[in-house]
Amino acid sequence: MEPIFIEGTPKTPTIKFDSKTGIFEIKGRSIPENAIEFYKPFVDWLETYKVDPLSKTVVSIKLEYFNTSSSKCILELFKKLEAIHKAKNEVEINWYYEEDDEDMLEAGEDYEAIIRVPFKMMEITM
């Protein structure tokens, strides 16, 4: 399975899902008007990846901003990861937030409460 990669724009994040290494990253801003359309290829990609995933997948989320439209799509991605984890594969989500950004920390905690995958809250010191 080929890795999937997209460069960020002012409204959409850089996304790299590397199926060779199991290192996945979402980074930047996610504030598109139509988040479903933007995330669909990545949700679909994970749907395929979860059939035969690597034994370990590490996902880093380094978002500066995300809108409510994206929040549901991010949850969709996490649900795919949850399924991979449930199938006895190692999955870890590293949720990055800047030290004074309690909103981003809370957002990570909200996902952690909903999704059964180990989360690590990673503070970025400015």
Partner 1 sequence: MLYITSNIFIHLLPNRISYEIKKTESSMSFNIENYFSYQLKNLIFHYKGNVDSNTISRVLDLFDEKMAVANNSSRLRKRAYNVLVESLQNLYHHVDKVPDDFNEQADRFGVLWIIKTDTGYQIVTGNFIYTDNIEKLEKRIQKINSLSREGIRDLYKFILSHQGLSAKGGGGLGLVDIARKTGNKLNYSFVKYNDEYSFFYLNILINEEQKD
CB of 8 to partner 1, least distance (A): 14
Q: Which of 2, 10, 88, 125 binds partner 1 (CB under 8 A)?
A: 10
Nearer to partner 1, 53 or 74 (CB): 74
Residue 96: CA count within 13 A, CB half-sphere: 15
- State the DSSP H helix or E strand holding residue 105, giving kind and residue range, or none if neither: helix 102-114
Cβ contacts of 44 within 8 Å, gap of 6 or more: none
Give the 3-state secondary structure of residue 101.
coil
d(CA 87, CA 27): 27
CB of 89 to partner 1, least distance (A): 23
CB of 73 to partner 1, least distance (A): 7
> Is 7 among the residues that bind partner 1 (CB under 8 A)?
no
Point out which residues bind partner 1 (CB under 8 A): 10-11, 31, 33-36, 64-65, 67-69, 71-73, 75-76, 98, 100-103, 106, 110, 113-114, 126
